[in-house]
Amino acid sequence: MYWHDGKLIDSKQIELSINAPELCYGATVFTTMRVYEKSLDHDLTHWQSHCDRLYTSIKAFNWRQPDWNRLKLGASTLLAYFPVLRMVVFPNGKEWITGRNLPVDLNQRRSQGITAWVATEDLYQRELAQHKTGNYLGAYLARNQALILNAQEAILIDNQDNWLETSTGNLWGWRDGCWYTPSLDSGILPGIKRSHLLNYLETNCIPVKENIWTPEFVFTLEAISYSNCVVDIIPIKQVLHQDNITSYPLIQLDLNNS
């Protein structure tokens, strides 16, 4: 079941032209949203932030803006069935919304942490990294390789080996009583959860800084986590980097009010 171009469709297939740019080039923008208590108006759903993300990218690409009322109608229809919605907009302004469930092991990941693999090859770098586009091949390949190596996430880096983000979220590090996250100047996606988490930490007077995650800085971190709108924040207990395995303690950050 999904929503496309103003209609709820009960099918596992979608009909597109063979010349559609979204099919040929991955020419889409999207955002993935967790809906809390089946309400787009819930503070933790961040509905407007997700719409703003879509709007900003569509404007930058000079594409047609969607019918925002119809996009909200589609999301409101699907939220009755799914707690997670992926909202996609095509260059012609048509919307496509799909739904899914939360990861079945989400509570386990939060309490026990995950293993992440550092993707060191150029093959895994993202194009247009500051926008959430359908061309997500680099991150997709990195995460698949991580799974082969019995890791659950991949950490993407630049050509100077600076850590940027994970294949699905933003990085957080803990050192000397302060949280750190890679700055937007690093060339990363400005995550919605990242933005709200920064605001939460600053509002609650919890030390937090944005910086460049050089290899030297990463070596000093005492704990590492990653965040996105679906999972909130997940601690990383191990990092696989070439032939090395680094273990980290689990330092939890309560996001229930963020």
| Same domain for 180 and 83 | no
Domain boundary, last residue among 36, 69, 100: 100
In a domain, 257, yes or no: no
What is the domain count for the chain? Answer: 2
Mean pLDDT on 196-200: 95
Q: CATH code at 149?
A: 3.20.10.10
| Same domain for 140 and 18 | no
- How would DSSP label each residue in 104-118? TTHHHHHHH-EEEEE
Domain boundary, last residue among 54, 74, 100: 100
| Same domain for 229 and 181 | yes
In a domain, 252, yes or no: no
| Same domain for 39 and 139 | no
- pLDDT tops 70 at residue 24: yes
pTM for this entry:
0.93
Closest to 224 measured CA to CA, from 148, 165, 183: 165
| Same domain for 128 and 88 | no
| Same domain for 66 and 129 | no
Residues in a beta bridge with 208: 179
In a domain, 57, yes or no: yes
Q: How confident is the model at residue 256 (pLDDT cuts 50, 70, 90)?
A: very low
| Same domain for 92 and 76 | yes
| Same domain for 53 and 94 | yes
| Same domain for 90 and 136 | no
What is the span of the domain harbouring residue 78?
A: 2-100
| Same domain for 172 and 152 | yes
CA distance 29 to 126: 14
Closest to 28 measured CA to CA, from 72, 1, 70, 61: 61
* 60-113 confidence digits (pLDDT tens): 999 999 999 999 999 999 999 999 999 999 999 999 999 999 999 999 999 999
- Give the pLDDT of residue 254: 56
SS3 62: coil
Domain boundary, last residue among 46, 77, 100: 100
| Same domain for 144 and 31 | no
| Same domain for 215 and 241 | yes
What value does the mean pLDDT of the chain take? 95
Q: CATH code at 28?
A: 3.30.470.10
Q: Is 255 exposed, middle or buried (0-12, 13-18, 19+ CB in 10 A)?
A: middle
